[in-house]
Amino acid sequence: MESVKNKFLRYIKTTSTSDSTSEKIPSSQGQFELANMLKRELENMGLSNVKLDNNCYLTAEIPSNTEKTIPVIGFIAHLDTSPDMPAVNVKAKITENYNGGDIVLNPEKNIILSPKDFPELKKYIGQSLITTDGTTLLGADDKAGIAEIMTVAEFLTENDSIKHGTIKIGFTPDEEIGRGADYFDVQKFGAQYAFTIDGGEIGELEYENFNAATAQIKFTGRNVHPGTAKNQMINAVRIAIEFDQLLPGLERPETTEGYQGFFHLAHLSGDVESANSNYLIRDHDKLKFEAKKKKILDARDKINQNYGKIIVEADIQDNYKNMKEMIEPVFHIVNIAEKAMLDADVIPKIQPIRGGTDGARLSFMGLPCPNIFTGGHNFHSRFEYISVQSMEKSVEVILNIVKGFNETEIEINII
């Protein structure tokens, strides 16, 4: 068998960055290139029903090897990497037996991965860390998840020692730009439960995520010569600043953690005549989430009232919901994953996702999907890294989940 490390190192060589400005499905051709590579590998492994559709959803099936009635389960990862950083010509660097000090990613550009900035590095002393040269993403989000699922698939097809029911595999496009579940056919996929392999640090087990919305705010100003501007000019950029100051100052990503929600000013552009801002609205609590959306509208109304006319317009669109309400009725699947970690000598870290995954939307589409760690850190950043040993533990945990469903008496629902 090819190691999970070597699979990962191969996959990151294919550029599969998604593109939020594209209306194509998928948003980038590189995702199809990676999907076709994986399709060939799955076929060579001997999996059944290997299919890649026109929207770049790749699915496959490992047939049951037991007469026991076991729920059909799935494992899902996404093909794309974040557009926040380039991922072209990724140059992987492997630091063996990490000593706990600085890792010089790029001496020419003085790019250093340091425990002074990222203290969690100290957890990996003695392990093998994979990084880049600091000029690109590594792509562990989510090519590590892909490599781990592919390693499990290869193991199960070559070894009959683990008894299991039918196992489904799914690789989706455009997760990073919020479109990963848009054309996912839950009914056709045919699993009763699934797990997204899209988490970070070893031990992460997540079944809660943010409720999410996006607010597009448009500001209309009036430009006149600054020498005669008194009582006439309306500076749209300053109105945008005024609008931001009406929102709670401590409810920002840089000042919140855990279950605390936030308003994230992700984009601001404009001039005196017009300006636009984009906010990400996030909260785990449904009532607090609705209250946050109302604060956006209240800020809009207050400014319009002060100026006596409409100079601020707000368009709020919901993106995804907290999957907790869909997971709790089938919480045994979280218990199985937790035991799978303990059996692999991994300490479970059950915590809310301060973001979202394909699993959040899929859960509301009828496929409950907790999220499992890949082992990566610093996603969407030039300082991204992953421990080889964490990847190996992820493979072990996935195999233990497969064992867990075989060992647990679970009612089978008709899909």
Calpha distance 324→172 (Å, rounded): 22
Calpha distance 337→160 (Å, rounded): 21
To 10 degrees, what angle do helices 4-11 and 388-407 make?
110
CB atoms within 10 A of CB 306: 11
Largest separation between any pair of C-alpha atoms in the chain = 85
* Strand, coil or helix: 350: strand
Calpha distance 166→195 (Å, rounded): 14
Calpha distance 157→153 (Å, rounded): 6
Nearest to 146 by CA among 223, 97, 215, 77: 77
Calpha distance 367→180 (Å, rounded): 14
Residue 373, token pair as written in the block: 């760690």
Name the residue with tokens 């017009």. Answer: 274
Whether 80 is a known active-site residue: answer yes
The backbone region for 235, taken as left when phi is positive above 0, alpha when psi lies in -120 to 50, beta otherwise, is beta
* Strand, coil or helix: 59: strand
Strand order in 167-172's β-sheet? 48-52, 58-62, 167-172, 73-78, 193-199, 371-373, 204-206, 349-350
Backbone angles phi, psi at 106, to 5 degrees: -145, 100
- The pairing of strands 376-377 and 385-387 is antiparallel
What is the amino acid identity at position 162? Answer: I
Question: Among the options 133, 175, 206, 396, which is catalytic?
Answer: 175
Question: Among the options 19, 80, 206, 392, which is catalytic?
Answer: 80
Catalytic residue positions, numbered: 80, 175
